[in-house]
């Protein structure tokens, strides 16, 4: 398969596991074995301003790296990786053919505009240019196309898909490959660098080769025995064997197996990498592994708690690691954990077999007031209002899980006199029904703590007979408080694009509730709603 090249990056990606201290003999031995195996491209280490030293695959320039380039080396190309934020490009000497041939440049999305001149400098110095956008899955389609249009005039040797957090599924890879293939300069290759957080790395690499066959010249990254920080990477031996079996490539698998026996297994005795539950969580949430490392240090924390915290801190925060934010989230979790079994038993005794009318704070409650009143009367329904007290309806219970709404309500007479059901994140409540916030929370959505969805899940635990929903209208993108809520003093939580996202996620959560609810309770809408088709 001449259109596909295998790039081994063991000496770079695997270096994190040994503090970048392989030793010169190991580096030379791995390079020699990979050359003998017929590996197309070998990444021998890093370009960095600091950290250069004996036995380390870290170089300040090409002259420092040439001691690891064997002669002869057949048609093998040699590459190094430069982190845009950690290497001064003026330290790189011009290409003279005696050292590495290519420079791979990684950069974060917010650095992409500044990195363009860096790319140009590498090409001007005579090296093959690999562009490695960190967390390619984190780019929107528009952002990705814009980046490609910026680099096309430079004509890079390769533009890579980098699955930094091991979060991709096959459809993600196909979508991104299609975008890049349709927009990238035809002379440039497409690369794929994956991580094995969700046990998908090898399968995705195979899929990448199949989808590119006859379409585009490509480069697929791998490491010997999958060696790499955290979950590791696509194993070189597995993808090489696949390319030999399915695409008539000519890699010597015995040479790679000898490298595993002679160099990698001794390292495995003192270092750990590969799939586990922690890496799964990093993959699911596209989270930096240091978030998990920090949370694991907490006494008694379990995997579902870490999942909860990663979901709560948000997508942008968890891509890096902010220990103060993690600490606050952990303390909030610990503080909100309660045993609510007696409360649930008491509420279930009061509501089992009853009809319930949920009165959410959407403006349809005000506009269709007669419908709400008629439903409650005709069904002898228990009326539960959500985070507010309606002006024209006296609810049997006030349900609260929004701290800001509770602060607004707690001084009012109507709130003081109401029978209140509150989630455990509301702290200064006494003589009320308090249920576990954690028990009602379900990960997977940005707006996971929607109050009405929480109440639906609670009612499912209480075995009610029938649930009518009023005021779950959905958000008008430009509606403001007056356009979205039953009362103008309710804060406006979402607008514009966030309103569109919230509507989509609420619809998904309703669908999920219907599919997973434990009771046989029938759920219906009382007032007009964007979500009525989901029931």
CATH number at residue 251: 3.20.20.70
pLDDT score of 413: 66
Choosing from 336, 358, 376, the residue where a domain stops is 336
Choosing from 268, 293, 324, the residue where a domain stops is 268
Handedness of CA 410, 412, 413, 414 (dihedral sign): negative
Q: Is 410 helix (H, G, I), strand (E, B) or coil?
A: coil
Look at the chain and report how many structural domains it folds into: 3
Please report the DSSP string for 155-209 in residue order: --SEEEEE-TTS---HHHHHHHHHHHHHHS-TTSEEEEE---TTS-HHHHHHHHH
Clarify whether residues 260 and 281 are in a common domain: no
H-type alpha helices, 368-492: 369-378, 403-409, 413-417, 437-440, 451-461, 480-484
Clarify whether residues 441 and 477 are in a common domain: yes
pLDDT score of 481: 46
Clarify whether residues 210 and 86 are in a common domain: yes
Give the integer Cα–Cα distance in Å for 149 and 163: 21
Closest CA to 358 of 471, 271, 278: 471
Closest CA to 222 of 437, 443, 7, 499: 7
What are the structure tokens assigned to 185, written together? 């300069």
pLDDT score of 414: 64
Parallel, antiparallel or unpaired: strands 189-193 and 218-222: parallel
Clarify whether residues 230 and 306 are in a common domain: no
Choosing from 310, 336, 362, the residue where a domain stops is 336
H-helix or E-strand containing 210?
helix 201-212
pLDDT score of 535: 57
- Per-residue CA distances from 71 to 22, 98, 447 (Å): 21, 9, 58
Clarify whether residues 231 and 318 are in a common domain: no
Instruction: Give the residue numbers spanning the domain of 390.
Output: 341-534
Clarify whether residues 197 and 247 are in a common domain: yes
Clarify whether residues 22 and 119 are in a common domain: yes
Clarify whether residues 262 and 353 are in a common domain: no
Clarify whether residues 517 and 406 are in a common domain: yes
Instruction: Return averaged pLDDT per consecutive 10 residues of the chain, 535 residues in all.
Output: 89 95 96 97 97 94 96 92 95 96 97 97 98 96 97 98 96 98 98 96 97 96 96 97 95 97 94 91 90 77 86 88 85 79 94 94 92 95 92 90 78 70 79 85 79 94 94 77 54 63 90 92 93 72
Clarify whether residues 487 and 365 are in a common domain: yes
What are the structure tokens assigned to 461, written together? 């635990």
Clarify whether residues 316 and 367 are in a common domain: no
Clarify whether residues 492 and 370 are in a common domain: yes
CA 407, chain centre distance (Å): 33
Give the integer Cα–Cα distance in Å for 84 and 104: 10
């Amino acid at each position: 398969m001449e259109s596909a090249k295998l790039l081994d990056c063991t000496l770079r990606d695997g270096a994190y596991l040994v503090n970048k201290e392989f030793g010169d003999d190991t580096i030379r031995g791995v390079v020699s074995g990979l050359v003998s195996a017929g590996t197309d491209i070998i990444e021998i280490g890093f370009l960095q301003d600091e950290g250069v030293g004996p036995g380390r695959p870290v170089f300040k320039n090409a002259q420092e790296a040439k001691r690891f380039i064997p002669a002869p080396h057949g048609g093998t190309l040699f590459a190094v990786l430069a982190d845009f934020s950690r290497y001064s490009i003026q330290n790189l000497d011009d290409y003279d053919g005696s050292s590495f041939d290519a420079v791979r440049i990684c950069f974060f999305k917010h650095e992409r505009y500044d990195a363009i001149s860096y790319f140009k400098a590498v090409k001007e110095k005579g090296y093959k240019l690999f562009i490695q956008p960190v967390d390619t899955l984190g780019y929107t389609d528009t952002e990705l196309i814009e980046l490609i249009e910026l680099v096309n005039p430079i004509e890079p040797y390769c533009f890579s898909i980098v699955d930094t957090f091991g979060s991709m599924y096959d459809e993600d890879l196909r979508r991104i490959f299609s975008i890049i293939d349709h927009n990238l300069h035809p002379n440039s290759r497409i690369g794929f660098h994956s991580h094995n957080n969700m046990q998908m790395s090898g399968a995705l690499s195979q899929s990448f080769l199949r989808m590119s066959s006859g379409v585009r010249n490509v480069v697929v990254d791998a490491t010997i025995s999958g060696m790499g920080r955290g979950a590791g990477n696509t194993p070189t031996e597995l993808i090489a064997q696949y390319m030999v079996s399915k695409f008539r490539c000519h890699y010597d698998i015995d040479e790679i197996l000898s490298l595993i026996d002679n160099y990698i297994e001794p390292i495995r005795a003192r270092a750990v990498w590969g799939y586990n539950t922690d890496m799964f969580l990093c993959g699911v949430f596209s989270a930096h592994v240091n978030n998990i490392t920090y949370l694991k240090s907490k006494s008694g924390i379990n995997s579902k708690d870490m999942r909860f915290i990663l979901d709560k801190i948000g997508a942008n925060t968890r891509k890096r690691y902010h220990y103060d934010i993690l600490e606050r989230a952990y303390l909030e979790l610990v503080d909100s954990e309660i045993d609510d079994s007696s409360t649930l038993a008491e509420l279930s005794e009061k509501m089992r077999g009853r009809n319930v009318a949920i009165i959410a704070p959407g403006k349809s409650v005000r506009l269709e007031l007669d419908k709400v009143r008629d439903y409650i009367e005709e069904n002898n329904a228990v009326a539960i209002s959500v985070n507010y007290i309606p002006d024209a309806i006296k609810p049997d219970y006030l349900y609260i899980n929004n701290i800001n709404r509770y602060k607004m309500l707690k001084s009012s007479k109507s709130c003081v006199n109401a029978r209140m059901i509150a989630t455990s994140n509301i702290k200064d409540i006494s003589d009320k029904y308090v249920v576990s916030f954690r028990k009602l929370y379900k990960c997977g959505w940005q707006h996971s703590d929607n109050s009405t969805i929480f109440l639906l899940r609670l009612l499912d635990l209480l075995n009610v007979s029938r649930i009518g929903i009023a005021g779950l209208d959905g958000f008008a993108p430009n509606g403001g408080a007056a356009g979205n809520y039953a009362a103008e003093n309710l804060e406006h939580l979402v607008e514009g694009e966030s309103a569109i996202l919230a509507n989509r996620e609420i619809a998904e959560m309703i669908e999920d509730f219907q599919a997973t609810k434990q009771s046989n309770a029938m759920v219906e809408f009382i007032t007009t709603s964007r979500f009525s088709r989901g029931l």
